[in-house]
Chain A
């Protein structure tokens, strides 16, 4: 039996354009700080666990919900579940965390949270995603890591 998705008919949005390469991007003498767009590009193509769509297409992730502070070495990502009772919220958050853990320099402290007011168990999901010990234990679970790797793999 295949599990029926929580949200059978999610609203699908159009993908944004690719990052425009500017002349300063190509200039080796200009320091390229990691910015919101770069973090967005790292996570926009993560696949939804239930639909053959990216988190960007479902508007779970938006560039305006990302904050980067290079001085403080912090990255904040808010993600918006498609429905308030989405049972996949923790898994989606974990996939975002894992992707950023692997892709960003280790100096960054990454905080992944549900966009305020968009999920019924927002507080519980946020607390779990913020608990590094539980995230570390989850990442030792091979089945879970396989699922996350499928989500994170770009098609």
Chain B
């Protein structure tokens, strides 16, 4: 029997909880939201409890939090147009750098796999790439204006410095640095969704991408490199990304978030119909036309929209989700 078992409901925030983020070690997570605070949670015995509350970093809603791959830094993106970097070099968590430049709301922040680069995006339609240049020093490497609407999400490839962004303009774009002139450029535009793309997640190989949208579908995209066996046309030596699977008819409202577990391969979605769904690739799935099965539907996972879902990076089947009324829930997926 496959099901999501509720381990704990946490009520620490006031108002909308927009995002939760696992520490790479999988034993701590951060949460953020409308109440302008960041809360750090860890386990005491069997219970998750608040260990630290970070306040006064932002003037408005904190939309997203992200841990650096080393686990020593936490970045927070806020509607106040700034991104704050927190660390505990002094023994306790403090904000030691603030990244400014976006014209208005910052919607998302992500660290590259090396931890040397940071990406932010926002309502001003731009994506910024920042380089860590020293202790508490960050320099803007590039401002990318490829989207023509609000940019909702940025996410890095799991092993390379390839950046993906999702937008209100219904597209996903990929960027990388040209090593010759150190210029960041958009190398692919993924077009197929019919409304806002809210989130995206790479699989563990980074050769596939899952995206979720207000059009109520999930799409799986596959990378076709130069001289691929399948004969997919590749121009300018840049890989072609093709939509190889669309999961439609499963979600009844906007899909706000998607998480692709790098250990188990399971895909979880957060939906505006209050439901968490889990998909698994079929065993006989064709790589060029994969099939995914809905293996679990958790009705009324929250009393309101599910804003975020995220698998524990350790692959222990733990999942966190959050919603509009301040509630965070920890789940265990049972096979």
Instruction: Give chain A's interface residues, CB within 8 Å of chain B.
Output: 106-107, 109, 127, 130-134, 136-137, 140
Asked whether B123 is an interface residue with its Cβ less than 8 Å from the other chain, the reply is yes
**In the bound complex, do residue B196 and residue A137 qualify as a contact, i.e. CB atoms below 8 Å apart?**
no
Counted as pairs of residues, one from A and one from B, with CB atoms less than 8 Å apart, the total is 36
A137–B18 CA distance with the chains assembled, in angstroms = 12
A147–B50 CA distance with the chains assembled, in angstroms = 38
**In the bound complex, do residue A127 and residue B16 qualify as a contact, i.e. CB atoms below 8 Å apart?**
no
Q: Which A residues are in CB contact (< 8 Å) with B273?
A: 109
Asked whether B291 is an interface residue with its Cβ less than 8 Å from the other chain, the reply is no
Q: Which residue in chain A gives the minimum CB-CB distance to B149?
A: A127
A133–B79 CA distance with the chains assembled, in angstroms = 10
Instruction: Give chain B's interface residues, CB within 8 Å of chain A.
Output: 16, 34, 60-61, 63, 79, 105, 107, 123, 150, 152, 168, 195-196, 214, 253-254, 272-273, 303-305, 324-325
Contact of B168 among A106, A109, A131, A132 (CB under 8 A): A131
29 interchain pairs, CB-CB under 8 A: A106-B304, A106-B324, A106-B325, A107-B303, A109-B253, A109-B272, A109-B273, A127-B195, A127-B196, A127-B214, A130-B214, A130-B254, A131-B168, A131-B196, A131-B214, A132-B272, A133-B63, A133-B107, A133-B152, A134-B123, A136-B16, A136-B34, A136-B61, A137-B79, A137-B105, A137-B123, A140-B60, A140-B61, A140-B79
**In the bound complex, do residue A106 and residue B272 qualify as a contact, i.e. CB atoms below 8 Å apart?**
no
Q: Classify the interface of chain B: helix, strand, loop or mixed.
A: loop
Q: Which A residues are in CB contact (< 8 Å) with B253?
A: 109
10 nearest A-B pairs in the assembled complex, by CB-CB distance: A137-B105, A137-B79, A140-B60, A140-B79, A106-B304, A140-B61, A136-B61, A136-B16, A106-B325, A131-B196
- The smallest C-beta distance from B189 to any residue of chain A, in angstroms, reads 20
A142–B242 CA distance with the chains assembled, in angstroms = 44
- The smallest C-beta distance from B276 to any residue of chain A, in angstroms, reads 17
**In the bound complex, do residue B61 and residue A132 qualify as a contact, i.e. CB atoms below 8 Å apart?**
no
- The smallest C-beta distance from B146 to any residue of chain A, in angstroms, reads 20
Q: Which residue in chain B gives the minimum CB-CB distance to A132?
A: B305
Q: Which B residues are in CB contact (< 8 Å) with A109?
A: 253, 272-273
Q: Which residue in chain A gives the minimum CB-CB distance to B170?
A: A127
A106–B325 CA distance with the chains assembled, in angstroms = 9
Q: Which residue in chain B gives the minimum CB-CB distance to A128?
A: B168
Q: Which A residues are in CB contact (< 8 Å) with B79?
A: 136-137, 140
**In the bound complex, do residue B325 and residue A134 qualify as a contact, i.e. CB atoms below 8 Å apart?**
no
A23–B91 CA distance with the chains assembled, in angstroms = 67
**Known contacts being A137-B61, A140-B79, is A106 close to B196, with CB within 8 Å?**
no
A107–B305 CA distance with the chains assembled, in angstroms = 10
Q: Which A residues are in CB contact (< 8 Å) with B34?
A: 136
- The smallest C-beta distance from B291 to any residue of chain A, in angstroms, reads 30
Q: Which B residues are in CB contact (< 8 Å) with A106?
A: 303-304, 324-325
Q: Which residue in chain B gives the minimum CB-CB distance to A74?
A: B253
A133–B315 CA distance with the chains assembled, in angstroms = 30
Q: Which residue in chain B gives the minimum CB-CB distance to A73?
A: B274
A127–B169 CA distance with the chains assembled, in angstroms = 11
Q: Which B residues are in CB contact (< 8 Å) with A140?
A: 60-61, 79
Q: Which B residues are in CB contact (< 8 Å) with A132?
A: 272, 305
| Apart from A131-B196, A136-B61, A136-B79: 19 A-B pairs, beta carbons within 8 A | A106-B303, A106-B325, A107-B303, A107-B304, A109-B272, A109-B273, A127-B195, A127-B196, A127-B214, A130-B214, A131-B214, A132-B272, A133-B107, A133-B152, A136-B34, A137-B105, A140-B60, A140-B61, A140-B79
Q: Which residue in chain B gives the minimum CB-CB distance to A140?
A: B60
- The smallest C-beta distance from A47 to any residue of chain B, in angstroms, reads 27
Q: Which B residues are in CB contact (< 8 Å) with A131?
A: 168, 196, 214
